[in-house]
Amino acid sequence: MRRRILAFILAITAIFLIHIQTANAIVIREGSRGAEVTRLQQRLIELGFLNTRATGVFGPLTKDAVLRFQRANGLTADGVVGRATTSAMFPTTTSRSPVPQTTTTVLREGSRGAEVTRLQQRLIELGFLNTRATGVFGPLTKDAVLRFQRANGLTSDGVVGHSTVTALFTPAQNNPVSNPITSVLRRGSRGAQVTTLQNRLIELGLLNVSANGNFGPLTQSAVEQFQRTNSLTVNGTVDSETARKLFAPPEPPPSIPSESPEPPPPVAQDPNPPIHTEPTPPVQPEPNSPLVRFNGVAGALTGRTVIIDPGHGGRDPGAVRNGVRESELVLDISFRLKRMLEEAGAVVLMTRETDVFRSLLFRSAFANRHVLQLETERLRSLIAGMPSQQAQTGATTQSPVQNEQVMQTLIGLQVERAQLQQRQSDISSQIAIIQEILVLLTILDEDRAQLKKANEASDSAAIALEKSEIFQRELQLNDLAARIGLPGSTHDIANSNLLLRQQETEQITVRLSELNQQIAAAQRLLEQPAQTENPIPVPPQPEVPPTGNSSISEAINMWNSKIAMFDHYINNPLLESREGIFALARDSSNNVQANEMLSKVFDLTRERYQDNIVFISVHINSTTQNATESSGIRMFYRHNGPTFAWGVGNPHYYLNYNSTARRSLSQNLLNSLNAFTTFQGEVTSPTRMDFSVLRETNLVSSLIEVGFINNAGDRALIVQEQIREDSAAGIYTGLVNYFNSLR
Ligand SMILES: [Zn+2]
């Protein structure tokens, strides 16, 4: 009896626990978006299940890849990524721990240090790696690991975990002339060993096509050429002698182990770095890998504005170590980001576009002035669009009948605007699908080329394989085309439909901007009687009551006077003292605060311009020491209240920052940058900080620090063009996710 009760209790507890776990587990499915999806896609790409790039959007292609993964792993194939699929997919990281796993050393792309050096030396010994050991796990090392894994029947994921380490260092592999080809390969052979052979021939410059696992005529002639130049019997067959020669180390392994790839010891503190005459070109540790460019999705950011603030510049290089300068790298990242954002239809402004010094107040003045320019434009268009009758009569109060008419008009305009916004959002998803179709079509072309080759070689197995690939691809294409009602899925149809949708998006954008003006005008009319707050002192008891037109003109004059005050900073980019609009004021308790003029700009910003404009400042971190263990992305935002994570903050400066939006932007950026980069360290929450550029504008804003320049590992990464491209892609995706979350 007792045991039965106990069993009962255990069962209940188990059910309870399962419920808790399922509730906490993140389930990702078709339609999901965000950093989790990006991470999933990157993993699927790593594992060879997904053929496109990570987009952060869980579309039909991603679902297909998940289904294939589930089938291959004996899971319920439902295309939904729940707990079981997640743990099968990420076996080494059971949860998304912010701390990198240190107990079991898993080496992967981005890893560095003595263990990587050892791995590389071993790969060189075994003939899988052709370069010298650098201690940095880059794409060449990854390729070598992939080849090793394929040759040894391991899951080929390019990640060196327990089983790969075991296989690498087993006695069988200790023979330096042992090689991954264990059987005789000849024309007609197929499989992983042929792929390994082909990759080796490609490495040696003997084969010019990509490896496909089929030993055809091209592979044969490459083998013959190798045999000729190595005084072997020329028969085009890879027997043990040819195999041994093929995979023998090219030169005797270096007797002195190669040290860390870092240039000599760090320089001293650099509060006043010397004037740099010649920019040091960033070092590219593995220059062989071509850049993988990330592109913005057309229409994804239509109507949005991003102000990019590349940190430092000119006489202020920011953090500097070993000739690597923060100011240069952040400008490079910023230009990449600008390109992606513009591809997505955003308006991009930069606080600097060259290596020049700009004061912190210049940067904030730049952002504030943009807001005021938008506002004065809006007010001018109100005057222009206002019915002249209205302007003439200039009634200060509207009759109830007039009010009713304006209200009806307003509702009609708002309905039209909502419909157009919906249509705009639909079109943007359709555009995403068309872009997937275009990618698939390119892959299909490659498949067809392979089929042609197989036909020429009369390789019946390869023909069957390619035919089935092509069949699958065509099914996917038809499915995608059907989803958005395309009459077919050719390049021409996809391209012409893409163009049509882009044109429609543009027309909608124009119409929306008209509607916004008309709606604002109507609202203004309805509000007019209640209008009391005019910051410019109105002469008491004017003989003629101000017309709508003239009160707008007064507002324009007021904002123009503030624009002039910001211009003072923009015309004097070295000016760092607080004067004019940035002069400090005190509240009744003598706390420092923003003065009334600046507060008005902040109020306006929040009221009218916060949804579609963000400000992001791009930096690379550094501590005051010569070297640091700190690593990875850091994200900062200012909010209302005590704002320093450490030290004293000033909570009284201004009280109407949009803390929620600022935090959300920062979290989105952090998630996605973490997903797109491979720094050793990872932090998962943004930090509150009272940085000047975050405090002196009321646009939703974040300050981004991409890695630590005085951490050798981070530095070795950030000097690579690919890492900077990926960082920009991370920021881009974070911005898209943030703006999508506002819909
Ligand atoms: Zn900085």
Q: What DSSP letter does each residue of 427-440 carry, written as one string?
A: HHHHHHHHHHHHHH
Q: Are 701 and 662 in contact (CB under 8 A)?
A: yes
The number of angstroms, rounded, from the C-alpha of 63 to the middle of its chain's C-alpha atoms is 21
Q: What single-letter DSSP state applies at residue 582? A: G
Tell me whether residue 289 is in a domain.
no
Tell me whether residue 448 is in a domain.
yes
CA of 691 to the centre of ligand 1 (A): 11
Residue reference for tokens 């963000």:
614
Q: How far is CA 675 from CA 41, 313, 430, 684, in A?
A: 10, 28, 25, 11
Structure tokens that stand for 481 in this block:
């085309």
> Do 380 and 407 fall into the same domain?
no
Q: How far is CA 486 from CA 133, 300, 422, 429, in A?
A: 52, 21, 20, 14
27: left (phi over 0), alpha (psi -120 to 50) or beta: beta
Q: Which residues contact 178 (CB under 8 A, 6 or more apart)?
A: 126, 172
Q: Give the model's pLDDT for residue 38.
A: 84
Tell me whether residue 444 is in a domain.
yes
Cα dihedral 417/419/421/427 (nearest 10): -150
CA of 113 to the centre of ligand 1 (A): 26
CA of 354 to the centre of ligand 1 (A): 16
Burial class (CB in 10 A: 0-12, 13-18, 19+), 273: middle
CA of 395 to the centre of ligand 1 (A): 54
> Do 363 and 413 fall into the same domain?
no
Structure tokens that stand for 608 in this block:
């009218």
Q: Give the model's pLDDT for residue 266.
A: 31
**DSSP line for 99-137:** SPP-SS--B-TT-BSHHHHHHHHHHHHTTS--S---SB-
Q: How far is CA 619 from CA 307, 310, 571, 634, 704, in A?
A: 14, 7, 24, 10, 6
CA of 326 to the centre of ligand 1 (A): 7
**DSSP line for 416-468:** HHHHHHHHHHHHHHHHHHHHHHHHHHHHHHHHHHHHHHHHHTT-HHHHHHHHH
Q: 10 Å Cβ neighbour count for 246? A: 24
Task: Please report how many Cα atoms fall inside a 13 Å half-sphere around the Cα of residue 513, on the Cβ side.
Answer: 13
CA of 289 to the centre of ligand 1 (A): 29
Amino acid at 510: V
Q: Which residues contact 478 (CB under 8 A, 6 or more apart)?
A: 489
> Do 420 and 503 fall into the same domain?
yes
CA of 703 to the centre of ligand 1 (A): 9
> Do 399 and 452 fall into the same domain?
yes
Q: Give the model's pLDDT for residue 234.
A: 87
> Do 568 and 622 fall into the same domain?
yes
CA of 305 to the centre of ligand 1 (A): 23
Tell me whether residue 121 is in a domain.
yes
Q: 10 Å Cβ neighbour count for 636? A: 24
Residue reference for tokens 């690379």:
620
How far apart are the C-alpha atoms of 179 and 189, rounded to whole Å? 18
Structure tokens that stand for 540 in this block:
């008491």
Q: Are 418 and 557 in contact (CB under 8 A)?
A: no
Q: 10 Å Cβ neighbour count for 384? A: 9
Q: Give the model's pLDDT for residue 94.
A: 32
CA of 68 to the centre of ligand 1 (A): 45
Q: Which residues contact 4 (CB under 8 A, 6 or more apart)?
A: none
Q: Are 703 and 636 in contact (CB under 8 A)?
A: yes
How far apart are the C-alpha atoms of 230 and 238, rounded to whole Å? 13
Q: Give the model's pLDDT for residue 163.
A: 83
Q: Give the model's pLDDT for residue 400.
A: 63
Backbone angles phi, psi at 183, to 5 degrees: -125, 165
CA of 621 to the centre of ligand 1 (A): 6
Q: 10 Å Cβ neighbour count for 369? A: 19
CATH of the domain at 74: 1.10.101.10
CA of 70 to the centre of ligand 1 (A): 44
CA of 704 to the centre of ligand 1 (A): 9
CA of 55 to the centre of ligand 1 (A): 29
Tell me whether residue 675 is in a domain.
yes
**Mean pLDDT, each 10-residue run in order, the chain (743 residues):** 45 39 60 83 82 76 87 86 85 38 64 82 79 76 87 85 81 49 81 85 82 82 88 86 78 33 30 33 47 89 96 91 91 96 94 93 97 91 61 46 74 82 84 85 84 89 84 83 84 88 86 87 71 38 48 90 94 90 88 92 96 96 89 93 54 90 97 93 90 94 96 94 94 96 88
Residue reference for tokens 């420092």:
592
CA of 351 to the centre of ligand 1 (A): 14
CA of 319 to the centre of ligand 1 (A): 7
How far apart are the C-alpha atoms of 702 and 614, rounded to whole Å? 8
Q: How far apart are the first and last CA of the chain?
A: 58
CA of 329 to the centre of ligand 1 (A): 11
Q: Are 506 and 298 in contact (CB under 8 A)?
A: no
Structure tokens that stand for 460 in this block:
């019946």
Q: Which of 33, 13, 16 is nearest to 24 (CA)?
A: 16
Q: Give the model's pLDDT for residue 131.
A: 66
- Alpha helices by DSSP H, listed for 152-262, are 162-168, 171-174, 192-203, 217-229, 240-247
Q: Give the model's pLDDT for residue 548.
A: 63
CA of 279 to the centre of ligand 1 (A): 18
**DSSP line for 270-322:** -SSPPPPSSPPPPP-SSTTSPP----PPTTTTTT-EEEEEE--BTTB--SEET
CA of 626 to the centre of ligand 1 (A): 16
Q: Of the residues 213, 247, 281, which one is the last residue of a structural domain?
A: 247
Q: Give the model's pLDDT for residue 518.
A: 87
CA of 567 to the centre of ligand 1 (A): 24
CA of 658 to the centre of ligand 1 (A): 24
CA of 80 to the centre of ligand 1 (A): 41
> Do 409 and 485 fall into the same domain?
yes
Residues within 5 Å of ion ligand 1, judged at the Cβ atom? 311, 318, 619
HEC-encoded secondary structure of 17-36: HHHHHHHHCCCECCCCECHH
Q: Give the model's pLDDT for residue 289.
A: 63
> Do 566 and 509 fall into the same domain?
no
CA of 620 to the centre of ligand 1 (A): 6
CATH of the domain at 695: 3.40.630.40
CA of 96 to the centre of ligand 1 (A): 28
> Do 557 and 701 fall into the same domain?
yes
Residue reference for tokens 């004061």:
359
Q: Which domain range does residue 677 map to?
A: 305-390+551-742
> Do 421 and 350 fall into the same domain?
no
Task: Give me the residues paired with residue 28 across strands.
Answer: 81
| Count of structural domains, the chain | 4
> Do 370 and 402 fall into the same domain?
no
CA of 697 to the centre of ligand 1 (A): 18
Backbone angles phi, psi at 533, to 5 degrees: -85, 100
Q: Of the residues 205, 230, 247, which one is the last residue of a structural domain?
A: 247
Rg (CA), the chain: 31
Instruction: Using DSSP bridges, classify how beta strands 584-586 and 592-594 pair: parallel, antiparallel or unpaired.
Output: antiparallel
> Do 648 and 684 fall into the same domain?
yes
> Do 615 and 698 fall into the same domain?
yes
Tell me whether residue 446 is in a domain.
yes
What is the three-class DSSP state of 186? coil
For helices 192-203 and 240-247, angle between their N-to-C axes, nearest 10 degrees:
50
Q: Of the residues 498, 529, 560, which one is the last residue of a structural domain?
A: 529
CA of 414 to the centre of ligand 1 (A): 44
CA of 283 to the centre of ligand 1 (A): 21
CA of 489 to the centre of ligand 1 (A): 48
